Structure formats: C-alpha cells, structure tokens
Structure 1
Amino acid sequence: MKDKSQGETHCQIKRSGKIIEHDHITATISINGKAIKVPASKVAAEVEIGDLVEWTGSIWSTESKTQTKEL
C-alpha cells in the first residue's frame, strides 16, 4: 500500500474574490474581507477592477458571466 503522507495531495480549495486594484505589477483581491496582493502575472489579462475572480490552480480568472460585480 502506498504511503500518502509524503506524496501528492489531491485536495482542491476553491478561492474566489473581487479585484479591488490592478496594475501591471500587482493585483489586490478582496477575499473574505481581507485584501490580498498577488503578482499581476497570476491574473488573467481580461480581468478588470470590480470583477469577481476565482483561483483555477494556476491563475486568477473571471467567474462565470452570470455573476454580478457585487460581492
């Protein structure tokens, strides 16, 4: 039997938030009322201030188009 305590994990945590600032260096995302700065390279190019975003595991991208911009 394979020991999983030292290997891969398949846990996935969905993180979502709202873009409150964005420039070519960093983006600030409001997540559960806390402002988190992330590198702009980790945010999809089409994201704008006010957009709801979701972490895909590699990049922050906009949530489904049916969502509103209010959080």
Structure 2
Amino acid sequence: MARDNIPRVRIDRLWKVLLVPALIIQWLIYMNPARGIQGVAQTTRIARSPFITYAISVCLWLYVLLVVVSRFVAE
C-alpha cells in the first residue's frame, strides 16, 4: 500500500506546517528516482529521511528570508 507521508513526519504541532514544502520536495524525489538500482536506493533513502526533511525546510525558508530581506534592502 502506498504512503503519502514518505518520511513519516507528523504535523502535530503548528510550527511543523513549515515542513510541508520539504515533504513535497521529498515526495517528488521519491516519485522520480535515479537510474539503476543504486540510484533508486539512494533516492529512496533521501526521501525517507526525517533529517533531510528538516534540512530541506531550513534551507528553503532561509532562502525565502534572504530574498525578502534583499528586496527590502534594495528599496
């Protein structure tokens, strides 16, 4: 049976809503594996890792913050 929440991260607190973009990215990684057995195994490990969920989220939100701050500084 297929699971929608690949890394099994529970959104049981309000701040965990910030993880949703990373969950979507991990789902896309899981649905589009690399070629070969090693590529499939590697993309599956990445897609199932809760640590990667947090890492992607932090990087994504830092990037968004950087873009927003740079817009205000440029004006």
Instruction: Determine if the TM-score, normalized by the shorter chain, exceeds 0.5.
Output: no
More helix by share: 2
The two structures have a TM-score, normalised by structure 1, of 0.21
Which has the larger share of strand? 1
Q: Which has the higher contact order (CA 8 A, sep 6+)?
A: 2
- The TM-score normalised by the length of structure 2 is 0.21
